Amino acid sequence: MMHPVPRRGISLLGWVLVACVPAYADVVHLKDGTSITGDVKRAGNGWVVTEPNGDVTRITADDVQSIELVKNQPGDPGASAAERLASLRRSVEYLGDIPAILDRYQKFIEANKGTSAAREAERDVALWTERRDQGYVKAAGKWVTPDERSKLQEQSIQVVEQARQLIKDNRLKDAESVLNKVLADDPQNASALYLKGLVLFRQDQLLPARKAFEAANPLAPNHAPTLNNLAVVNWRQNQFIAALNFYDQAMLASPGNKVVLDNLAEALAALPKEYRNHFVTQRASRRFAEQDSKLQQQMAQQGQFRWGSAWVSQQDLDKLKAAEKEIKDKLDSMAADYDQAQARIVALDRNIADNDRSLRQMEMTQYARDPNTGQTLVLPLPPSYYAILRENDTLKTERQTLLAKLETLKQQAKSSQQRLPTPRFTGIQQVIGVEGTPLVPVGMAAAAQSSAAGAITPLPMPNPKPEPVPGKPDPAPPTPPKPGPAPAKPDQPPADPPKPQPAPSKPEPAPPTPAKPKPAPTPKPAGEVNDGPAYR
């Protein structure tokens, strides 16, 4: 959180002193996309930034994306070499790449040759060079050896696994407590951020849940479960285009992902009309059609067929289509009755309005003036007046009956639509749970956040393997060879190359080449997501 510090009045002398101090050269880049320029000093678990105009702002470490050291322009008074060195040291605290840190120091030494600050910087370079040679990496905000990193990795996995189990047991408060401790030590732990997003979502805290998933997203790039969950949360907040954009990213990260495509089917069916022509909607719809066509082909080989956002067997699909046709026929009949009743109500309203005008005219001609006395006389109304009144009463009664019939038809139509044993759409989009937890090695998050490391290579996120298809051989295990001549004797030296033999008229089967052992694929239920590294 940023907290502006109130300033007291500055005397003329104070303004002169402020004007005479060297120019400030630190730029603090915040995670919300803004930045603050000024003199940055460490203060507890955060920073105090003094801007050139004298404003002072406190910033917590969690809000800082990076700190940049900006060169002073030639001719400016600039900061002293010692101040620039202090600023350089602050800026490298947020870097996770030692070569980038050394590069900054070398540029500083070149620009400040012959100064005591340059000599101090050379000592810093020696320290960073030693760390580089020893393979130091940044993990949980600290520079550690590879062995220490491995220990931190094991500890992180154990603690996050504990949180996963607590979430499975629906002990959300206990899980949140564990995750808060992890994030206090390592705010960039993608696994903990993802799980905290799940906990907050289950507690219906949508905004904090979205922030947790947003924080995990850049730390585990191209992670389909995170992108899917961001889409679900945004949809719940009525941010429909943002949700579709995240679904589109999830389809790119994990093509053919069943959970993502099922959720997107729900979203496209429920999307309000005013958003249907948006370019994000059109793009996501095209990608959905392409990937869902392939998914339907794969699922059909397993005897499963798409029904809205669900999957059913061929037998159930036939029953559902027959039930849907029967319901449609009833709805069409109801629609005809509804239209007929509506047309009759319009005609009745017109007749009632015409009768009301006739009645008003008769009432206006009821009065006359006596030519002798000048008094107003009330003449009796004609019998047709009362006939029209009776007719209007009849028309109004019929109108009320028809209105009640319309309401009954609406309820019957709604009831008929709900008679399908499996509705096409439920209106619910599913988050991916603990099975989608990203496992990012300790130190990778820091590298991904380094502002000087250039383009970050995304973590390997393998696409999910297709489900086994009944009737087709599994390509993983090798096909056993047919019985043939016995292989070479064991006492034959294996290193000797085989002697060339004349080609026989009938080729004899060669001894089977021992296949390299392949790990057996872990069976998983349909719909379970395993995009990228995830705990099991």
Instruction: Say what the pTM is.
Output: 0.54
Which CATH number do you get for residue 290? 1.25.40.10
pLDDT averaged over the chain? 76
Shared domain for 399 and 304, answered yes or no, is: no
Instruction: For tokens 């002169």, name the residue.
Output: 16
Structure confidence by residue, pLDDT tens digits, 440-463: 554 444 444 433 333 333 333 334
Q: In 357-379, which positions are buried (b, 16+ CB within 10 angstroms) versus exposed (e)? A: eebeeeeeeeeeeeeeeeeeeee
pLDDT at site 369: 83
Structure confidence by residue, pLDDT tens digits, 101-133: 889 888 888 888 888 888 888 888 998 898 888
Structure confidence by residue, pLDDT tens digits, 2-18: 555 444 443 333 333 33
Shared domain for 111 and 149, answered yes or no, is: no
- Domain for residue 481, yes or no? no
* Helix ranges, 134-205 (H): 146-168, 172-185, 190-202
Mean pLDDT for the stretch of residues 52-71: 73
Shared domain for 381 and 270, answered yes or no, is: no
Cα(109)–Cα(126) distance, integer angstroms: 13
Shared domain for 154 and 81, answered yes or no, is: no
Shared domain for 26 and 90, answered yes or no, is: yes
- Domain for residue 529, yes or no? no
Residues of the chain with pLDDT > 90: what percent? 32
CA 48 to chain centre: 34
- Domain for residue 34, yes or no? yes
Shared domain for 53 and 93, answered yes or no, is: yes
Instruction: Mark which of 375, 394, 417 sits at the end of a domain.
Output: 417
For 138, 236, 364, 448, the CA distances from 156, given in Å and listed in that order, are: 14, 31, 92, 18
Q: Which two tokens stand for residue 319?
A: 């029953």
Task: Say which residue, 416 or 117, is predicted with more confidence.
Answer: 117
Shared domain for 151 and 285, answered yes or no, is: yes
- Domain for residue 220, yes or no? yes
Instruction: Mark which of 367, 396, 417 sits at the end of a domain.
Output: 417
- Domain for residue 288, yes or no? yes
Q: What is the DSSP letter of 521?
A: P
Structure confidence by residue, pLDDT tens digits, 319-369: 888 877 777 777 787 888 889 889 999 999 999 999 999 989 888 888 888
Instruction: Mark which of 133, 152, 181 sits at the end of a domain.
Output: 133
- Domain for residue 163, yes or no? yes
Of 87-96, 248-257, 265-274, 311-320, give the lowest mean pLDDT range.
87-96
CA 225 to chain centre: 8
- Domain for residue 20, yes or no? yes
Shared domain for 183 and 249, answered yes or no, is: yes
Shared domain for 170 and 75, answered yes or no, is: no
Shared domain for 127 and 151, answered yes or no, is: no
- Beta bridge partner(s), residue 143: 138
- Beta bridge partner(s), residue 310: 307
Domain residue limits at 367? 315-417
Of 296-305, 396-405, 495-504, give the lowest mean pLDDT range.
495-504
Q: Which two tokens stand for residue 474?
A: 């599994």
Q: Which two tokens stand for residue 464?
A: 């999910």
Shared domain for 152 and 298, answered yes or no, is: yes
By the 8 A CB rule, do 307 and 469 touch?
no
Report how many domains make up the chain.
3
Shared domain for 248 and 166, answered yes or no, is: yes
- Domain for residue 83, yes or no? yes
